[in-house]
């Protein structure tokens, strides 16, 4: 999945040309794609790791350049840099020099920005590169959008590097859609207007924010769903849509060609429902870590995704009211009290960065010795006011009844090998087929003889057996009766679910994550359960809708895949 040269070679085999967006900020709404730019103000410090990265990447691209017989026609640096106040011409100049140092003077280097003079002059200073712009379908004459680009670079082509088919989705908001006919009509307006105009459709093929790679927006903070379907002509799973067929016909007519045969959609299988069992709790899977008198951000201990546990001594009697106050938290904090040995772990509730007041009241049910705060990084902001300063974790002091709490430990939550470098063992190492089988045999929902864990943070696991290669296929998982959390399949963090908010109800699981034999599914529930614990697998992603509660089978029959002969 990460072999860039193989990807470029495959594109060339299909007769495609390639534009490489090398960054260091690539946009694309990925978590961390913006966060790393925080140090751009310290150009020398930031460019050192950029140079190390380009020294590895660019030599691999060189032999694939168009003038060397490859498909790469353009190298894009940065993305919408002109939208940010820094407007550092030295920075863009340094990136341009790094590219040409490796790829030579012949390579076409581009930038992309909003199509106004102020954005263009910051994004492409000195007119070193081909300036391009981005916009979606709109009403009006094409030259209205390209006018300021023409005035900025009169002799160059007019390129829209991102002609939007849709937009990213966020939890709790309706699925974003652009009417296909509107998109196609506006596209044809551009293409027929002038041969000077070139258009790159974004996204033509939907995608997925696997793992914790989803981005977010601020004001208010809202993280993106795992699906990056983007209303694209080819779906998240690569399936043909009516939008694709209509767009294809419009382009073939414009080009006066017949095109190639449309392939069939890939096979999807709806596996049987998977019963899952309570097997553990997130707080059991912390290890290593560090300590300090005061709280520190997750970045300060090199925790850039997932969860981190904050722990401090906290002696309170049962029933004694507590008033916790946070200066800032990002993005969600789940508050527990316990004894030293976790014998009485109690969940009291959660707060988020969007709460008007970061004050939390609770009464311990048992005598406690420790306060545990599990913090979730729900995704870095990728384009807005927090772009330069979106730190995660507990930011600033925490006080209890007016007194600051001191003496903190910070521990990564080890889900898999990618969680943190200090993880000695991980969740996926522990939850094996035998472990799940042993849990099934017990009649009590207890782990290791301890009392029942609170639902928030609980880990559920189940097994899917695939009998043969013929039964190995893409699928979609819907965690029925769960509310909000994370899905792991075998060793991979596949994505997130939020059945309470939507719009995505089902998590795409490509067959690459599965194998013949035993497949272990793990759900980390962060909220609560509705009924009994079960998951179902369907062969169509129909959860992109709003409102979000509907009959699964009835909806599937209405929108089942079309097979193209």
Termini Cα distance of the chain: 29
Enter the CATH code of domain 274-279+431-558.
2.60.120.260
What pLDDT was estimated at residue 555? 24
What pLDDT was estimated at residue 172? 95
Give per-residue burial for 402-429: e unless 16+ CB within 10 Å, then b.
eeebeebbbbbbbbbebbbeebeebbbe
What pLDDT was estimated at residue 539? 56
The stretch 294-322 carries a mean pLDDT of 93
Is beta strand 484-489 parallel, antiparallel or unpaired with respect to 222-223?
unpaired
- Ranking 196-200, 449-453, 470-474 by mean pLDDT, the lowest is 449-453
**516 has a pLDDT exceeding 90:** yes
Confidence of residue 532 (pLDDT cuts 50, 70, 90): low
Angle at which helices 43-62 and 4-13 pack, to 10 degrees? Answer: 40
Confidence of residue 31 (pLDDT cuts 50, 70, 90): low
**242 has a pLDDT exceeding 70:** yes
**116 has a pLDDT exceeding 60:** yes
What pLDDT was estimated at residue 426? 82
- Ranking 96-105, 208-217, 387-396 by mean pLDDT, the lowest is 387-396
Top-confidence residue, 481 or 1: 481
Give per-residue burial for 357-383: e unless 16+ CB within 10 Å, then b.
ebebebebebebebbbbbbbbbbbbbb
**308 has a pLDDT exceeding 70:** yes
Main-chain phi, psi angles of 147, to 5 degrees: -60, -50
The residue assigned the tokens 């939008």 is: 243
Q: What HEC string does 333-391 produce?
A: EEEEEECCCCCCCEEEEEEECCCCCCEEEECCCCCEEEEEEEEEECCCECCCCCCCCCC
Instruction: Let me know how long the chain is.
Output: 565
Q: Which part of the chain is CATH 2.60.120.260?
A: 274-279+431-558, 288-413
Confidence of residue 286 (pLDDT cuts 50, 70, 90): confident
Angstrom CA distances, 144 to 61, 116, 149, stand at 36, 11, 10
The predicted-structure confidence for 368-415, as pLDDT tens digits, reads as follows: 899 999 999 999 988 755 556 789 999 999 999 999 999 999 998 888
Please state the CATH superfamily assignment of the domain spanning residues 288-413 in this structure: Galactose-binding domain-like (2.60.120.260)
Confidence of residue 289 (pLDDT cuts 50, 70, 90): confident
CA 543 to chain centre: 18
**541 has a pLDDT exceeding 70:** no
Top-confidence residue, 29 or 365: 365
Q: How far apart are CA 181 and CA 149, in angstroms?
A: 27
What pLDDT was estimated at residue 535? 64
The predicted-structure confidence for 169-188, as pLDDT tens digits, reads as follows: 999 999 999 999 999 999 99
**4-164 CATH, one of 3.30.70.100, 3.20.20.80, 3.30.530.20, 3.50.50.60:** 3.20.20.80
Q: How far apart are CA 166 and CA 232, in angstroms?
A: 7
The stretch 182-207 carries a mean pLDDT of 96
The predicted-structure confidence for 132-180, as pLDDT tens digits, reads as follows: 999 999 888 888 899 999 999 999 999 999 999 999 999 999 999 999 9
Global pTM value: 0.89
- Burial (CB < 10 A; 0-12, 13-18, 19+), residue 324, is buried
The stretch 272-277 carries a mean pLDDT of 88
Top-confidence residue, 182 or 428: 182
The stretch 435-451 carries a mean pLDDT of 58
Q: Give the chain's largest Cα–Cα span.
A: 80
Q: Is the C-alpha dihedral spanning 231, 120, 115, 11 positive or negative? A: negative
Main-chain phi, psi angles of 257, to 5 degrees: -140, 165
User: Which residues touch 396 (CB under 8 Å, ≥6 apart)?
Assistant: 295, 326, 327, 328
Please state, rounded to an integer, the average pLDDT across all residues of the chain: 87
Edge-first strand order for the sheet with 484-489 is: 277-281, 458-466, 517-525, 484-489, 492-498
Helices marked H in 63-116: 89-103
The stretch 529-543 carries a mean pLDDT of 58
What pLDDT was estimated at residue 382? 83
Top-confidence residue, 179 or 25: 179
């Amino acid at each position: 999945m990460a072999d860039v040269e193989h990807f470029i070679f495959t594109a060339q085999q299909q007769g495609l040309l390639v534009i490489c967006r090398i960054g260091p900020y690539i946009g694309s709404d990925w978590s961390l794609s913006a966060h790393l730019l925080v140090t751009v103000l310290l150009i020398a410090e930031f460019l050192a790791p950029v140079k190390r990265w380009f020294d590895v990447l660019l030599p691999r691209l060189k032999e694939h350049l168009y003038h060397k017989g490859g498909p790469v026609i353009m190298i894009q640096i940065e993305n919408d840099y002109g939208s940010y106040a820094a407007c550092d011409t030295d920075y863009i100049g340094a990136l341009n020099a790094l590219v040409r140092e490796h790829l030579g003077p012949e390579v076409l280097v581009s930038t992309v920005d909003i199509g106004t003079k102020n954005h263009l002059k910051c994004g492409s200073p000195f007119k070193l590169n081909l300036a391009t712009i981005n916009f979606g379908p709109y009403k009006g004459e094409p030259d209205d959008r390209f006018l300021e680009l023409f005035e900025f670079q009169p002799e160059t082509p007019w390129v829209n590097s991102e002609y939007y088919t849709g937009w990213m989705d966020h939890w709790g908001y309706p699925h974003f859609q652009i009417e296909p006919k509107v998109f196609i009509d506006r596209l044809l307006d551009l293409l027929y207007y002038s041969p000077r105009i070139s258009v790159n459709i974004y996204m033509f093929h939907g995608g997925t924010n696997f793992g914790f790679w989803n981005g977010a927006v601020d004001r208010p903070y809202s993280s993106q769903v795992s699906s990056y379907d983007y209303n694209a002509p080819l779906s998240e799973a690569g399936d043909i849509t009516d939008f694709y067929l209509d767009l294809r016909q419009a382009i073939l007519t414009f080009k006066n060609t017949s095109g190639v045969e449309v392939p069939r959609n890939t096979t999807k299988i709806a596996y049987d429902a998977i019963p899952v069992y309570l097997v553990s709790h997130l707080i059991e899977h912390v290890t290593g870590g560090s300590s300090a008198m005061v709280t520190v951000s997750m970045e300060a201990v090199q925790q850039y995704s997932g969860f981190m546990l904050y722990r401090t001594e906290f002696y309170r009697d049962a029933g004694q009211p507590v008033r916790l106050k946070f200066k800032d938290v990002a993005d969600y904090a789940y508050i527990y009290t316990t004894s030293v040995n976790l014998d009485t772990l109690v969940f009291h509730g959660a707060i988020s960065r969007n709460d008007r007041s970061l004050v939390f009241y609770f009464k311990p049910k048992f005598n406690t010795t420790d306060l545990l705060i599990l913090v979730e990084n729900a995704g870095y902001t990728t384009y807005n006011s927090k772009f330069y300063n979106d730190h995660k974790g507990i930011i600033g002091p925490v006080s209890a009844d007016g007194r600051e709490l001191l003496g903190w430990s910070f521990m990564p939550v080890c889900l898999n090998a990618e969680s943190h470098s200090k993880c000695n063992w991980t969740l996926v190492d522990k939850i094996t087929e035998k472990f799940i089988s042993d849990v099934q045999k017990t009649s009590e929902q207890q782990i290791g003889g301890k009392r029942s864990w609170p639902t928030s943070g609980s880990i559920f696991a189940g097994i899917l057996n695939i009998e043969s290669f013929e039964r190995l296929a893409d699928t979609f998982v819907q965690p029925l009766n769960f509310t909000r959390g994370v899905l792991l399949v075998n060793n991979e963090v596949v994505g997130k679910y939020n059945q309470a908010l939507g719009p995505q109800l089902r998590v795409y699981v490509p067959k690459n994550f599965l194998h013949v034999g035993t497949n272990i599914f793990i759900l980390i529930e962060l909220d609560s359960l509705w009924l009994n614990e079960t998951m179902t697998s369907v062969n169509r992603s129909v959860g992109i809708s709003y409102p979000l509660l509907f009959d699964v089978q009835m909806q599937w029959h209405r929108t089942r895949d079309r097979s193209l002969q």
